[in-house]
Amino acid sequence: MKTTIYDISEKAGVSIATVSRVLNGSSKVKPKTKQKVLDAIQEFGYTPNAFARGLGLNSMNTIGLMCADSSDLYLAKAIYYIEQNLRQNGYNSILCCTGYDLERKKSAMDLLMSKRVDSIVMIGSSFLEASDADNDYIRHAADQVPVMLLNADFDYPNVYCTLCDDAKGMANATNYLIQTGAKDILYLYNSNTYSNMKKLTGHQTALLQAGLKVRDTHHAKYPGQREDLEAIALFLEQFVEEKSVTFDAILTSDDTLAIGAFKYCKRKGLRVPEDISIIGYNNSLIARCSEPELTSVDSRLETLCNQLSKTLIHVLEGDEMPQKTIFSGDLIKRQSTKA
Amino acid sequence: MKTTIYDISEKAGVSIATVSRVLNGSSKVKPKTKQKVLDAIQEFGYTPNAFARGLGLNSMNTIGLMCADSSDLYLAKAIYYIEQNLRQNGYNSILCCTGYDLERKKSAMDLLMSKRVDSIVMIGSSFLEASDADNDYIRHAADQVPVMLLNADFDYPNVYCTLCDDAKGMANATNYLIQTGAKDILYLYNSNTYSNMKKLTGHQTALLQAGLKVRDTHHAKYPGQREDLEAIALFLEQFVEEKSVTFDAILTSDDTLAIGAFKYCKRKGLRVPEDISIIGYNNSLIARCSEPELTSVDSRLETLCNQLSKTLIHVLEGDEMPQKTIFSGDLIKRQSTKA
DNA sequence: ATCAGTATTGTAAGTGCTTACAAATAAATG
DNA sequence: CATTTATTTGTAAGCACTTACAATACTGAT
């Protein structure tokens, strides 16, 4: 049997209340008795039981983190930043990976709520379902604890959103392509998450504002795995052939897609950026791995995560905070676009 | 106040024991009463309190995951695979990021032990300290629950290691370079983790077996951030100049370092692979992003993680399992090396 | 030494759940 | 229909802590 507070109290010759007091460090304990208790704890290698603790305190300063896929470059970074911020403020994190399936999201939420987390942080826009009724699980959570959304926009009391204005980010990228001489931009994206929809809108708005047409033939939705670069290139090849589109630039909703586009160009003997300009999104590590390096929209993830964490800490401390904080993305110009 | 099992029992007109029974689904409850209880649960939106549950059951089927940096490409993948495996077997995971500092590792361990996890999984070789006494915290944990190490080798009862034979992997890479004509290999690594030491040993052994010399001038230890590709290139430039080394191949302990080496070559006008062959390690996504694509040692992470998870599940079920499982890495040949 | 006042400790009642055991109810048997 | 047996339910004692409140031990001043 594991050692408990009773073993310690017996060994130290004090009551369990006193042991609990030195454990919590709250109320005053005479230095001498404190030392006796600490010695006993040391000797037994005692670790307090968080279950019992949580029961008594009804909170353990822990935050539930939900994310679809912790191995996604972008999400992994976000987890890292947020976890770090929270820990530095005395909160522990529990991470649940949910995949992209509603049932798994719900069950992860249940799990976290059962662990009586002080808040839920939902990392990534994939948590918002197209059918609004399906978002009830978020509302249900928000009825009990503050819910923080990263890169998603959701109106409900006690839900706080921190996001990058992806529409504007993508509009900037589009404008930059147009400025540097592009006439026909092929837009490549891969899923209908909330932020991908925003990006698409931003792109189209920019096209219209520049007096260009929005053409279905120039929107390619890649259905496969994002990390399968060859498959992306292959998909593009088929798409281009099938629709017989011509274009002088490729704009993508994600850096990996852009790298896939590189592979396509290479295969077709197209030079980047002389023949085709390419812009990615997220400015992740891989944007600096390609040759030429990839121009990309930086969605300022670290800033977003820091802000989200700060907001959360304040909310937990009872401060009034804005429910929506929006940053705008930076276009990082590299060599995959013309000067 | 949150709703409890008492509220449900009252609403459904049964005792709390019955509510607990339908919650656990274990013993038989008459369908009719079961339905009444479920209705009450539904109506109140009740979520059982995991603290109380854990106290009663003294376990909640959760596994503690420790990793230094969840945003590291390689570690993030490992977390993903392991979490998935465990969840599919009915275990939840709690992730703690520890950084590379001993005190943080210890406190993460304490946290997990206080949460009474059923096992600790330590992801990555950075958990083994050079001074053996510093590994006592691992022994202490192993005295209470099984401890699983990924990519590290540690002898102690109740500690199970699943690893890739990095020495052999690096030896293969070295041999391949030699076979394809390399005479002077520059070895670039960045930290003294356990597996990095193994890799270095493997490289040196292979050199000696091929009748080549092991030269200090050809071991470069990059001290900076691994993701700062420019800094890697700069470091190499200075290193080469300072030691005035000549070489026709670069072998690195990690893909990002290899990409840094690409940048260096580009800057110096050296062609890959005509002038310089480059081999990375881990075969991560970025190995396929560079141009030419990077030859890399695949440490078979997914296999390792699956095996680790399987071993863990069996151990938890009381089966006898081998304490050490070793795989060997595959060299994935791409275009950064000569044919 | 006595007493008020304060610092320190102990007692005992929660906290929300599980489960052994007892009690009650239902089903089966002669 | 009375018994026996099986099924379903309830009672109450944990589980390992926290903390309000009561009790005790000190402190210095009289």
Q: Which residues of chain B have pLDDT under 70?
A: 1
Any domain includes A308: yes
Same domain, yes or no, for A161 and A83? yes
Same domain, yes or no, for A151 and A193? no
- For residue B113, the SS3 value is helix
- Res A130: pLDDT: 84
Radius of gyration of chain B, Cα coordinates, nearest whole angstrom: 26
Same domain, yes or no, for B251 and B139? no
Any domain includes B333: no
Same domain, yes or no, for A118 and A137? yes
Q: Which residues of chain A have pLDDT under 50?
A: none
Determine contact, residues B143/B158, Cβ cutoff 8 Å: yes
CB contact under 8 A, A114 and B76: no
- Res A1: pLDDT: 65
The answer to whether B326 contacts chain A (CB < 8 Å) is: no
* C-alpha span between A279 and A202 (Å, rounded): 14
Same domain, yes or no, for A310 and A288? no
Considering only residues 32 to 71 of chain B, which have any Cβ-Cβ distance to chain A shorter than 8 Å? 45, 47-55, 58, 60, 69-71
Same domain, yes or no, for B100 and B195? no
Q: How far is the CA of B26 from the C1' of C19 (A)?
A: 11
The CATH number given to whatever domain includes residue B224 is 3.40.50.2300
How many structural domains compose chain A?
3
C-alpha distances out from residue B174 to A31, B184, B203, B271, B298, Å: 61, 11, 6, 20, 14
Same domain, yes or no, for B240 and B271? yes
Same domain, yes or no, for B106 and B196? no
pLDDT digits 0-9 by tens, A41-74: 999 999 999 999 999 998 899 999 999 999 998 9
Q: How far is the CA of A40 from the C1' of C9 (A)?
A: 18
Determine contact, residues B91/B35, Cβ cutoff 8 Å: no
Same domain, yes or no, for B294 and B314? no
Whether any strand C atom is under 7 angstroms from the Cβ of A25: the reply reads no
Same domain, yes or no, for A244 and A294? yes
**What are the backbone angles phi and psi of residue B66, rounded to the nearest 5°?**
-115, 135
* Closest residue by C-alpha to C1' distance, nucleotide D19: A17
Tell me which residue in B47, B114, B227 faces A50 most closely, judged by beta carbons: B114
Determine contact, residues A288/A335, Cβ cutoff 8 Å: no
Chain B residues close to A285, C-beta within 8 Å = 73, 227, 256, 286
List chain D nucleotides near protein: any atom < 7 Å from a Cβ. Answer: 7-12, 14-20
Same domain, yes or no, for B39 and B75? no
- Best of B266, B285, B332, B335 to substitute, by most chain A Cβ atoms within 10 angstroms, is B285
pLDDT digits 0-9 by tens, A126-160: 999 888 999 999 999 999 999 999 999 999 999 99
Beta bridge mates, B252: B188
pLDDT digits 0-9 by tens, A77-86: 999 999 999 9
Any domain includes A306: yes
pTM score of the predicted model: 0.92
Structural domain span for residue B202: 166-299
Any domain includes A87: yes
Any domain includes B121: yes
The CATH number given to whatever domain includes residue A28 is 1.10.260.40
Alpha-carbon torsion (A57, A79, A303, B222), positive or negative = positive
- Res B320: pLDDT: 95
Any domain includes B53: no
C-alpha distances out from residue B232 to B9, B220, B225, Å: 64, 11, 8
Same domain, yes or no, for B196 and B285? yes
Any domain includes B337: no
Any domain includes A54: no
- Res A282: pLDDT: 95
